[in-house]
Structure 1
Amino acid sequence: MQSRKSNHFIFTCVGIGTFIALLNSSLITTILPNIRQSLKISTGQADWLVLIFLLVMTVSLIPLGRLSDIWGQRPLLLTGYIVFVCAAAVCGYSYNFLSILIGRALLGLGSAMILSVGPAILTTTFPSDQRGKVLGIQALITYLGLSFGPLIGGSITQFFGWQSAFLISIPLGIIGFIFCFTSVPQRSTVNTTIDVRGIVVFLVFMTSATLLLNSTIISNFHIVVWLLLLSLPVSLLQFLHIERKAALPMIDFSLFHIQNFKFGLVGAASNYLCFYLVLFIIPYYLNNILKSPPVQIGFFLTIPALIMTIVSPIAGTLSDRFGARIFSITGMCFSVISLTIFASVGIIIKPVTFILVIGGLICTGLGIGIFAAPNNSAIMSAVPQTHQGMASGTIATFRNIGMILGTTLGGTFFDLIYKYILDAGNTSSRAFLSAFSLVMLAAVFLGILGIICISHMDKRSQYRQHNPT
């Protein structure tokens, strides 16, 4: 039995990795104009710096999670820290587009290695009566990285240059590596081979899906879009065929017979969609409609993070006692309420708008803070010990799917509606408000679907171990 002090070191190791991975996922949005101007690259090239990180991380999470079950969680986490630190250095010392593109891709790979094993390490380290609390704090760290990334990136860039925004992760990554090397034990692994065919086909499928959801970046390459439309269903069917026949598959589809696993994953994707949509599109509303200065926008975006700081550990701790489902449903309800509030700001007079925005951001913080830890705990607790890495990588993948969908809804879908309303003869501000409200209403519908899925979770078996075979 490990000592409590050792457990704290392990949690610190996972927490540092989670924070720097999500920090580098979100800070790029603020510093992208500075990078574009400094390196003299086009807007399309700059967009690829966002997409390449998200693409590499998304396609790698589940294969790496399965690899950790075979190779071990400790070696993968150590390797992830090494890759991440080297990648941050490449980005920080880049002076051309190719080098920073490679650096961002490596950052995505290092982040995937870290995030794919984090929940698995915590689940196997802490007893079930502490699991919700620990995962609650880890969920808080996840959202802090996402929420404060733009503010930290912008502040550092303003005073020290955009390269420093990447370099700040290096000392944190080194500290995380030291904690991992000295405190994380090597646990028993599965004695089997890697499902290489399944991994390759899965990479093709996830790459096709990610690029199609962000097709505006490749819209000038029509042949590529058509090839992706063809490869998406073909690779999906081939992947399902391979995994069903594989003796030891990368994804054990029998896990989806577990209610808490399948419904919890869909709920996680829905919750992250709601959160990332708000994080992505609200700054544009504050800037374009309310004419808020950057400092005020930064203040607004800290509201959800402050709410999370308070409620996330509490929700995680209470879920250990009362079960996960009620907290997951409550969190999703707050997320839907926040989106409903934002959908209404287009028809409300301006003096009241600030109050509505603050109220919406408070509900956003409550939604993600109450939801994440209980939901993750319910998923991980329902999965056998031998599949913890697979489940951990799957959670992270569905989280990224939610982020991608939130970005697509807030970007591509918003632009299409905005241009249509603008072409109909409306003013730019009216077109913006109408598109803003319609996008938020679409997200409300998706959030309600998330609530329906979560309501089917088994409230009585939060910590019951299921046999997937």
Structure 2
Amino acid sequence: MKKNSGLFGLFVAIFAIGFGFAYVDSNLISMKTALNLSLGQTVLVINVFIFFMITTLMPLGHLSDRLGNKLFLTFGILGLGIFPLLFALSTNYTWALIFRGLEGVSAACILPTSIAYLTTHFKDFTKSMAYFLFFFVLGLLIGPLLATMAEGYVTWNFGIFFMPVLCLIAFVLTRSLKETKIPGHIDYLGMILSFFATAIACFTILRSLNLETKQIILLSIVALFLFVILLVHEHKHKFCLDPKVLLHPTFIVCALASLILVLLAWIGYFASALYLQNMLLKSPQKLEFFLLCVPLPFILVTIWSAYMDHVKAIGLGGLLLGVGYIIQSFFTLETGNLQIVVSMVLIGGGIGFMLPNLSGLALHSIWNKTKATESSIVLYIQSLSVVIGLTLTGAILRFQGQLQYFRDLAGQKTSKSVGDVIVSFFKTPQKFFSNLEDLTKVFESRVISFLQDEFLEKYRMIMWILVGVVVLIVIMGIFGAKKKKKRK
């Protein structure tokens, strides 16, 4: 019972990370208004959590192995309870940004250590990743759901006040966990190189829409140079992880496949949300309902997939995911609700079958004892896809802004043609301004129609590209499963 209480504490901590991240991102408009933020500042508040989480993930994973996994798990839980609360109480942009960033650092303390403990408990890499993903995505689901239900009744930061309660429960339950550490030197230089290389790479990706090509190339070269120095340093000293281990075929293939899959899920989810918002639905409540159709099946099948054969789980997941995107490629303005629900359920279920197995295979291929370092590397690679996804989402939202701009201007569409309005200018010159307004509506309606057609065409193209990517991921996953490293 005491051993299981520590396990439940890990689940609560993992859930809290997903919940806190998703809840804030679901209240952007209310937060923007309450803190008087510009659009750029609001985006930065979103990105700063991911930025500091991914930049500190590997350094903190290494430190926790050297100084104690339970120690850093405790630091992370305490930080996750305190910093979101301070963020919720912030009255200006600067403090909101600082506390949101520190929340990301706290999450980076918890993530690798929790997977290390889960793997020790289950003695199975796929199962540990499945349970981790189950509770993390459950948090991602409950956060927006609570935000939607509470909207209009309470303040934007209402849900964040649950974070200290969740973290208090996690803190009490995880006291039963045993401290684990691996004696050795602390690789300060490696941690510094990892932090700055990742920071420059993430900054370049997140700001790529606003940077000039020369700046992107220069920053990319600097980041790549730092990563090369890091690998050479690690190869020589082997304080963290021998780079030769990272060359194992299973790790390369499965880690890359999991990165692409997370990115695929991110793009597909936001593309679907954008499509539903702009093309089919008028009610925000309906939009929230349809978007729940992705994480729900993911949660339902994730743990089940961990008890399946790798090849079968990856193959079945790829089939569901591919069919889901094929269905979406046939969406039109007349598409019914059933078709939408079926496609999104298939997508969520497909990702749920594939991701735990791909992540488990990648982790299995580089695991050495009970180390948070290896966990941080797998999570690091998957987190990169979230950074890329945030950038692509920004590009998608730019097009959405165009569409919404013309839609707002046009207001109610007119049935008149351009010719009808021009004739009206001659027949009723005294109604000049009224005729001019009609002409404006006609042109704006045509622009909306053009943008909708353009969006549909691009959306269909994106869906078919995603189908091709799914096939590639399945091939990579099956290859990784067949080449699975045999462990003694």
1:62 aligns with 2:58: yes
In 1: Cα distance, 2:295 partner to 2:145 partner: 12
Query: Is the 2:279–2:333 Cα contact (8 Å) retained in structure 1?
Result: no
Aligned-pair CA distance for 1:134: 5.2
The answer for the alignment partner of 2:183 in structure 1 is: 191
Quote the offset at 1:49 in angstroms.
0.5
The answer as to 2:148 corresponding to 1:154 is: yes
| 1:203 maps to 2:195 | yes
Work out whether residues 260 and 458 of structure 1, in 8 Å CA contact, stay in contact via their aligned partners in 2: yes
Q: Distance in 2 between matches of 1:440 and 1:148?
A: 27
Structure of greater Rg: 2
- Cα distance, 1:117 vs structure 2: 1.6
1:332 is aligned to 2:354: no
Amino acid at match of 1:202: S
Q: Which runs of no fewer than 5 residues in structure 1 stay unpaired? A: none
Q: What is the match of residue 38 of structure 1? A: 34
Whole-Å Cα distance in 2 between the matches of residues 222 and 33 of structure 1? 31
Supply the distance in 1 between the matched residues of 2:252 and 2:483 (Cα, whole angstroms): 16
Structure 2 equivalent of residue 173 of structure 1: 167
| Structure 2 residue identity aligned to 1:158 | G
After TM superposition, the structure 1 = structure 2 runs for residues 132-281 of structure 1, keeping only pairs within 5 Å, are 132-133=126-127, 135-181=129-175, 183-187=176-180, 189-215=181-207, 219=210, 228-248=219-239, 250-281=240-271
TM-score (norm 1): 0.86
1:90-111 superposed Cα distances (whole Å, 9 cap, x missing partner): 1111110011101110111111
| Contact map agreement 1:18 1:141 (CA 8 A) in 2 | yes
RMSD (Å), alpha carbons: 2.9
How far did 1:270 drift? 1.7
Residue aligning to 2:433: none
* CA deviation after TM superposition for structure 1 residue 253, in Å: 1.6
**CA distance change for structure 1 residues 305 and 149 in 2, over 3 Å: closer, same or farther?**
same
Match for residue 406 of structure 1? 389
Q: From the superposition, tell whether residues 236 and 328 of structure 1 become closer, same or farther in structure 2 (CA, over 3 Å).
A: same
More divergent stretch after superposition (359-368 vs 232-241): 232-241
For 1:270 and 1:387, locate their aligned partners in 2 and report how far apart those are by CA, in whole Å: 27
SS at match of 2:157: helix
Note if contact 2:201-2:223 (Cα within 8 Å) is conserved in structure 1.
yes
> Do structure 1's residue 51 and structure 2's residue 47 form an aligned pair?
yes
Q: Is the 1:271–1:332 Cα contact (8 Å) retained in structure 2?
A: no
The residue number in structure 1 matching 2:443 is none
Deviation at 1:440?
Answer: 3.3
1:452 is aligned with what amino acid? I
Q: CA deviation at 1:208?
A: 1.9
Note closer, same or farther for the CA distance 1:431–1:212 as it changes in structure 2 (3 Å cut). farther
2:358 alignment partner in structure 1:
375
Deviation of 1:385 after TM superposition, in Å, equals 3.8
Deviation at 1:157, TM superposition (A): 4.4
Which blocks of at least 5 consecutive residues in structure 2 are unaligned?
Answer: 407-445
The offset of 1:387, in angstroms, is 5.9
Task: Please state how far the C-alpha of 1:390 moved relative to its aligned partner.
Answer: 1.7
* 1:360 equivalent in alignment to 2:354: no
1:73-152 alignment runs, 5 A limit: 73-128=69-124, 132-133=126-127, 135-152=129-146
Q: CA deviation at 1:216?
A: 5.5
Where do residues 285-300 of structure 1 align in structure 2 (5 Å cutoff)? Answer: 285-300=275-290
Q: Secondary structure at the match of 1:112?
A: helix
The 3-state SS of whatever aligns with 1:159 is coil
Which residue number corresponds to residue 299 of structure 2? 309
TM-score, normalised relative to structure 2: 0.83
Give the Cα separation in 1 of the matches to 2:60 and 2:315: 30
